[in-house]
Amino acid sequence: MKRTLFSLLIAAQFTLTSCGGKQITLPVLNEIRTETASGHREAADYKCSSVFPRGSWQFVHAIDFSLKSGGGSTVVGVTALTPDSLKCALVTPEGFTLFSGTLDREDNFEVKRAVPPFDKPAFAQGMLEDLQAIFREPIKARTQRGHLGDPPAAVCRYTDDANKMTDVFPEGNTDTCWQIRNYTANKKLTRSVIAQACKKTGPSHIPQKLELQTYGPTGYILKMNLISAEHLP
């Protein structure tokens, strides 16, 4: 049986701040294969920027939240994007705002409203990282293009100044339309995002379903079903 929203997220907050438990070994990132002179893919396959929404949007998602340790609940997520900012809110199905914040162009995150237990710094940090993973093209010091997997899939690898890496797979398969994977500087997988049932709108591919998963002892899964997507002028 699912726990109530508040009891679930109180447990989630405890898990985020707990130091106990055995550390889970995370998979090591496979090195990217360099393109040959003839090339396995044309440059058009590397439209990695199309994974991230362009312009101004408002998205409303039904979000099913579940912990690896068990339990789950549902909230409504509202995200408003402009070229200069990202505003987000978590709302109960009854319309009560639990959390809201704004992310600016320099990735500074300001919490506007946070009712307990959403007022903990760990919750805001996790929210920030999830929003950046889904909606913001990574800030990069350098970018590589190549292929991973068998059959080989086109991938863009973004590496920032701290040597953290993000792999973006702009091509899909029968089940997905794009994927994102975040890694630490030690090449450990920390977060993945899988998009399904994308609809092309302008230069962007807007997914009807998203699944975000974090890894390690504090891991959780967000299953996001699109309720509405409005392209704002």
**SS3 assignment, position 180:** strand
Q: How far is 122 from 13, CA to CA, in rounded Å?
A: 7
Indicate whether 106 pLDDT > 70: yes
Predicted pLDDT at 211: 96
How many angstroms separate the Cα of 134 from the Cα of each of 89, 128, 131, 191, 224? 15, 10, 5, 10, 11
pLDDT tens digits, 139-159: 777 888 888 777 778 888 898
What share of the chain has pLDDT > 70, as a percent?
Answer: 77
Residue 29: pLDDT band (50, 70, 90) is: low
DSSP-derived pairing of the beta strands 204-214 and 189-201:
antiparallel
Each domain of the chain, given as residue ranges in start order, spans 5-16+25-232
Indicate whether 233 pLDDT > 70: yes
Indicate whether 123 pLDDT > 90: no
Average pLDDT over residues 193-218: 86
Max intra-chain CA distance, the chain: 58
Report the topology of domain 5-16+25-232: outer membrane lipoprotein receptor (LolB), chain A (2.50.20)
**What is the helix (H) or strand (E) element at residue 130, kind and residue range?**
helix 121-135
pLDDT tens digits, 70-85: 666 789 999 999 988 9
Tokens of 76: 């409504």
Average pLDDT over residues 214-225: 88
Indicate whether 175 pLDDT > 60: yes
| pTM given for the model | 0.80
* Span of 9-23, 40-54, 126-140, 210-224 with lowest mean pLDDT: 9-23
* Pair 90, 97: CB distance under 8 Å: yes
